[in-house]
Amino acid sequence: MIEISNLTKTFSDSVVLNNLSLVVEKGEVLGFLGPNGAGKSTTMRILTGFLSANKGTIKVNGQDLESNAVDVKKMIGYLPEGAPSYGDMTVISFMKFIGEIRGYKGDELSERINYVLGLVDLQGVSLQAIETLSKGYKRRVGLAQAIIHDPQILLLDEPTDGLDPNQKQQVRALIKSLSKDKIVVISTHILEEVTSVCTRAVIISQGRIVADGTPAELESKSRYHNAVTIKLLRPYDISEDLLELKEEFSIETIGNSSGYCVVSEKGESLFTSVSAIAYRKNWPIKEVFATRGQLEDVFSKLTQGAQ
């Protein structure tokens, strides 16, 4: 369990983290969201003991980070932003170095390295210098060093940044498979990542938490959650027919006059009643569907004006 309480961090005169408190339980995959400069990386860096906070405490599995830094660091696997690694080293010698620092020796060390390189599919390039590898491979080297000691806590700062769509899929699948009985914190600004891997999402803006819930809960905060999208074969004015609706609503046109979005003002589901009217009034329908809220909407609503 990670307990962050009242974390405050200032750089010269700007406040990066403002009294941030957060508890992450075992088994959670936490998506840590926020616009650039919101304090995501700073939080990660404080959590890993790289930076120290001005105020506040962090406890990891009951141990205080400040007084037991080395013990806490042993429990954590960390992929820093940009996945830095020693470019001159070969993949295998780099992994050996990290493994030794993590306390492995001899056969056990080679076993761990083989296992982890297999997991991230790096065996083919294990004898190459890291600087000669492509971005995707470098990222995987970063992931491999973070998981070599099977950490209870995995902190990944933008793990899929700059990867191609296939590589993103691979990395996400890997994170999912690793997340059992662990705490995984992923900082990202790619929202689809949160929906696909995370069990919980926290949005921070200007160093404060502005939203905290499951991805589905956050999506439902969107204005367009449960809205009905209607596409017609030819222009037709639906606004008069819709006056029959009991719920409060507003209509937005999509594109030309043959597409509409009916948004409930209170977030109720309108699909059944709207489709009933459509059927009765014989609208020239091409398609009708209920819209799911988009995390993007919630994200920009909550973090707008922050930059």
Partner 1 sequence: MNMISIIFRREFANYFATPLAYIFVVIFLITNGIFTFELGGFYARGQADLLPFFSFHPWLYLFMVPALAMALWADERKSGTIELLLTLPINLHHAVLGKFAAAWALMGVALVLTFPIWVTVNYLGEPDNGVIAGAYIGSWLMSGGFLAIGSCMSATTKNSVIAFVLTVSLCFVFIVIGSPILLDSFPQWIPQFFVDSFAALGFLTHYDSVSKGVLDIRDILFFGVFIFAWLFASGVVIEIKKAN
Q: How far is the CB of 102 from partner 1 (least distance, A)?
A: 7
Residue nearer to partner 1 on the CB measure, 75 or 209 = 75
C-beta closer to partner 1: residue 86 or 236: 86
Q: Shortest gap between Cβ of 73 and partner 1 (angstroms)?
A: 4
CB 189 within 8 Å of CB 170: no
79 versus 178: smaller Cβ distance to partner 1: 79
Nearest to 46, CA basis, from 14, 88, 86, 2: 2
* DSSP string for 18-49: EEEEEEE-TT-EEEEE--TTSSHHHHHHHHTT
**Cβ atoms within 10 Å of 278's Cβ, excluding its own:** 19
The least CB distance from residue 104 to partner 1, in Å, is 11
Distances (CA, A) of 134 to 85, 139, 176, 184, 222: 13, 9, 24, 26, 38
Which CB atom, from 81 or from 247, has the smaller least distance to partner 1?
81
Q: How far is the CB of 118 from partner 1 (least distance, A)?
A: 22
Q: How far apart are CA 137 and CA 87, in angstroms?
A: 12
CB of residue 225 to partner 1, shortest distance in Å: 39
Cβ proximity to partner 1, 155 vs 262, nearer residue: 155
Residues in touch with partner 1 (CB under 8 A): 11, 45, 48-51, 69-71, 73-74, 76, 78, 80-82, 84-89, 93, 97-98, 100-102, 145
